[in-house]
Amino acid sequence: MSAMTTGPDAEYAAFLAEGRFRLQRAPDGSYVFYPRVAQPGTGAPLTWCDASGLGEVYATTVVRRRPPEPSYNVALIDLEEGVRMMSRVEGIPADAVRIGMKVEAKITSDGDGHAVIFEPAS
Amino acid sequence: MSRPDAFPRGAAAIVGAATSGLGSSPGFEASDLAARASVDALRQAGLTPADVDGLFFCHSTDTFGGLSFAQYLGIHPRIVENSRSGGSAFQGYVELAAQLLHAGVIGTALIAYGSNQASAAGRLQTTVQPMRYEAPYRPIQPISPYALAASRYMHLYGATREQLGEVAIAARSWACLNPEATRREPLTMDQYLAARLVSDPLGLLDCCLVSDGGAAIVMTRADRAPDFADRPVFVLGAASETSHRDIAWMPDLTRTAAIEAGRRAYGSAGLGPSDIDVVELYDAFTINTILFLEDLGFCPKGEGARFVEDGRIAVGGSLPVNTNGGGLSCAHPGMYGLYTIIEGVRQLRGEVGARQVAGAQTALAHGNGGVLSSQGVVILGVEETL
């Protein structure tokens, strides 16, 4: 293995800061999320590729806050690449998010970093 | 290679089982509560802490909890096990203790737990680190992951809030018969449905209690058990399986690793679901009971929500489930797995009064850790089942 200069988390974050949502891909063509130094199961090396940003809601909940603090959505999104991630769906009311809904990724700045969120696919 | 017959069926027995301070115990440390239960469980067997050479203990916030508790008891155990897989850790401890007793590595195992989370913090105390790819989305831990599983289950199988409510109402019906239970007033469906939502579809009454409490069991080799107990309870099978830590990496949110743990535990015991008289499941949330009834074979996948209707798992129903009132209505001191084992033991010893399941000879005591992450199954039986 070549000398490691930057960890996979920092690489992922740096891509997001450039406005690029990228995933790691293994030699067998399968994708990996969260970023790792090796493929789960096989230990094979991973390379970065642009994500399609397309996905589908797998599970959804509304975290209820006491008003005036707004309630918000938390969802698991199955990406077209075959990996799942936690995120939220914005652009519609939190309780209008439905399992099976097609969504697309957007990069948002969440205070101290960037994060991938989703909106209903246009 | 692992061997399918590796668990020594009936080779170890539980000869003492006790709880302490369930509910609210202000002024007591977690170790005080664990020590009170430990001394009581050992006394049932005519033993004292000095007899313990295998200690199995975990603490909600003390990483070295096993060492701290050995020091508290004033013992020098040859085995200290304080690994933590969440609330299922205790099922794993029973499995390991049985193996170590069988192998002759230890002679007397003490498995103990204590928490003062209700009095000290008023909420779940944990040192679990937030997952960096989940934390930005602010799920409530651990409720939101279970809510996500419930959303998926309801989507796939058409389950309803009322069916989740049946689980809460059944647990409460048992708690009403348990003097040790925290919530002993009957629960109606209207009250259940009126409770505030916390993380949809789960509301306040879908969530376990936040309790103080201690618990302990004592295990010896089965051939020595008659020296220590009139009615020893034998470990017929025990198995565990872990599938993930964080909910986004659970392969299928409606199928837990209890399927595999249960399959192996039943295999060791030579029993199946229809042979189990008393079922004690880790009900941190109402959805758990439904998933685990399915995964442990009491009904087919997708039918659990219908299975619990009409009081089937409540007092007077055909399958006695969570006969102490469960984590939902008896107590939930942070990690609950040891309490399912103790309720199973008490049922098999025939000592639980109004909630006694008549003639119970076998019990299944299940543990769940993390967010449906780690699963443990222990199958217990009276002497006649050996």
Residue ranges covered by each domain of chain B: 12-121+211-232, 141-204+237-385
Which residue, B276, B273, B239, is CA-closest to B375? Answer: B239
Q: Does residue B1 carry a pLDDT above 80?
A: no
Q: How confident is the model at residue A1 (pLDDT cuts 50, 70, 90)?
A: very low
Tell me how long chain A is. Answer: 122
| Chain A neighbors of B246, CB-CB under 8 A | 86
| A46 inside domain | yes
Chain B interface includes A61 (CB < 8 A): yes
Percent of all residues in chain B with a pLDDT value above 70, rounded to a whole number: 99
Across the range B88-109, mean pLDDT stands at 98
Query: B284 with B208: CB under 8 angstroms?
Result: yes
Strands A22-25 and A47-50: antiparallel
Residue A60 domain boundaries: 8-120
| A3 inside domain | no
Query: B345 with B378: CB under 8 angstroms?
Result: no
Q: What is the pLDDT of residue B121?
A: 84
Q: What is the pLDDT of residues B255-284, one digit of tens each?
A: 999 999 999 999 999 999 999 999 999 999
Across the range B63-67, mean pLDDT stands at 94
Q: What is the pLDDT of residues A74-105, one digit of tens each?
A: 999 999 999 999 999 999 999 999 999 999 99
Which residue, B374, B149, B376, B379, is CA-closest to B254? Answer: B149
Across the range B14-21, mean pLDDT stands at 98
Cα separation, A101 vs B156, whole angstroms: 14
Q: Is the pTM of this model over 0.95?
A: yes
CB contact under 8 A, B199 and A72: no
CB atoms within 10 A of CB B251: 10
| A15 inside domain | yes
Residue of A nearest to B253 (CA): A59
Chain B interface includes A95 (CB < 8 A): yes
- Strand partners for B242: B374
Query: B322 with B174: CB under 8 angstroms?
Result: yes
Across the range B154-163, mean pLDDT stands at 98
Q: What is the pLDDT of residue B2?
A: 75
- The count of structural domains within chain A is 1
| A103 inside domain | yes
Q: How confident is the model at residue B380 (pLDDT cuts 50, 70, 90)?
A: very high
Handedness of CA A61, A62, A63, A64 (dihedral sign): negative
| Chain B neighbors of A34, CB-CB under 8 A | 132-133
Note the CATH number of domain B12-121+211-232: 3.40.47.10
| Chain B neighbors of A76, CB-CB under 8 A | 148, 247-248, 253
Which residue, B377, B337, B345, B340, is CA-closest to B362? Answer: B345
Chain B interface includes A115 (CB < 8 A): yes
- Strand partners for A57: A77
Across the range B359-365, mean pLDDT stands at 98
Q: What is the pLDDT of residue A4?
A: 65
Across the range B272-301, mean pLDDT stands at 98
Q: What is the pLDDT of residues A26-62, one digit of tens each?
A: 999 999 999 999 999 999 999 999 999 999 999 999 9
- Could you please state the CATH topology (level 3) that the domain comprising B141-204+237-385 is classified under: Peroxisomal Thiolase; Chain A, domain 1 (3.40.47)
Chain B interface includes A17 (CB < 8 A): no
Q: What is the pLDDT of residue B133?
A: 96
CB atoms within 10 A of CB B359: 8
| A56 inside domain | yes
Chain A interface includes B104 (CB < 8 A): no
